[in-house]
Amino acid sequence: MDVRADGGAGVSEADLAALAALQGRFSNVLVQINIYSLLHKMQDANGLGLEVVRGEDYCRVEIRYPSDTVSKWIDPKTGKAEGLSFEFNLCEAVASWEQVRNSTTILTKEYIDALPNGWEEYAWRRINKGILLNKCKNKTLCMEKLSLVLPETSPYVPRHFGRCAVVGNSGDLLKTKFGDEIDSYDVVIRENGAPIQNYTEYVGTKSTFRLLNRGSAKALDKVVELDETKKEVLIVKTTIHDIMNRMIRELPITNPVYLMLGTSFGSSAKGTGLKALEFALSICDSVDMYGFTVDPGYKEWTRYFSESRKGHTPLHGRAYYQMMECLGVAGKIHSPMRGDPGRVVKWLPSKDTIEAARVASEKLLKRPGAGSDGPLGSCNMIKKRKRGKAPKRSGLRDAAMKHLKYMKGATRYPMERNVGGGYMCMINDR
């Protein structure tokens, strides 16, 4: 990646200084603190045994595990054990995650309607075996299959909620009784079929949202039994299936059920945990993580409620979450491996540092609207709602209302199939 300040790329000396600040040079007097010295300090104070090594430019870092780490996850494609070092791009992370904070992650009818050929080119992809529907040329049939999970507009906006906790499934949760602490959050987000009963002192009792993969979504009847209040909102990250529609109608399932609309992060990270964190960041002021770690020596991927599982790239995932915490994207990783559970995360970049680095990163990555101060600058596409179709927003938190005011009532949707980033924005007809 070329990180020189050349006019053609639109990256100025000030932008490079912002990236350098993200890497550690962020004092009022521009003290030259290298990102890697800074991150070493962070690892000493906050880390989980990982080491950070300088990459080839301002954007790249390599995160390494101790050499005595036992890697047991085998890549089914290569037959090799997962490596102990991973390269990450800080610029891509900052640019993508800061945009998530200002976007909606719920699939809506207005989004599909506004896309060019949205029903023919996109909607059928969110229906199981949608290829058999002749690309939704019969829109009525596709709408019938999606109707139970497709609101007209998003029920949530950025900053809708205050403090949120995303609870993973790691066996580490059984080492510390986090239950009361987790229940103190405004919102608790859980994953798949993770139970609450019999584990409340470790994982709490509150459950506001639950992110579901394909397997869990097809067992909705079992999932809804996990929350006794029957108020848990279910977010499906894949497709709607006929069996899901049948259960929603016939049981019936009264919990709200939605499909998730997400940003593409390429191969940098994946899994339900990552999507749960993405959803949380799109609706919450602050997000903390529980149950996202494994022991430093790493023997096997564990779950707090069942036998050990192979998982998928667990070392890569843990390193990615550690990077997010160090960047201040995720508030805090709560882990029994940290001696002082009440410690304050130190050395985090300031909001000004993150904002300047975001602008510089967007320019460097040539993202749509890079460097724009306006709320719609990152929109590849702007569509106007029909008169009278503006979402009714009342009773929202001050932070959410402030966001809506900044956005002038617009809703920003990620262009889900656009790996290079970009957004579609729906604005009100004034």
Euclidean distance between CA atoms 242 and 129, whole angstroms = 10
Residue 219, pLDDT score: 94
Residue 37, pLDDT score: 32
Domains and CATH numbers, the chain: 7-100+349-363 (no CATH), 161-334 (3.90.1480.20)
Averaged pLDDT score across all residues of the chain: 83
Euclidean distance between CA atoms 18 and 1, whole angstroms = 17
Q: Where are the alpha helices (DSSP H) in 224-368?
A: 242-250, 272-283, 314-326, 351-364
Residue 193, pLDDT score: 93
Residue 171, pLDDT score: 87
Each residue's pLDDT expressed in tens, for the chain with a length of 430 residues: 444 444 335 788 888 777 776 755 322 212 222 233 334 444 444 555 677 777 677 788 888 888 888 888 888 889 998 899 999 888 888 888 888 999 999 999 999 999 989 999 999 999 998 888 888 989 999 999 999 999 999 999 999 999 999 999 988 899 899 999 999 999 999 999 999 999 999 999 999 999 999 999 999 999 999 988 889 999 999 999 999 999 999 989 999 999 999 766 655 556 788 899 999 999 999 999 999 876 655 556 678 888 766 667 788 888 888 888 888 877 788 887 765 656 565 667 778 888 888 888 888 888 877 877 778 888 889 999 988 888 988 899 999 999 999 999 999 999 876 645 678 999 998 6
In sequence order, the 6+-apart residues with CB closer than 8 A to the CB of 235 are 106, 209, 210, 211, 212, 258, 259, 260, 279
Residue 25, pLDDT score: 33
Q: Tell me the pLDDT tens digit for each residue of 327-340.
A: 887 778 888 776 56
Could you identify the residue written with the tokens 């022991």? Answer: 295
In sequence order, the 6+-apart residues with CB closer than 8 A to the CB of 245 are 145, 148
Residue 209, pLDDT score: 98
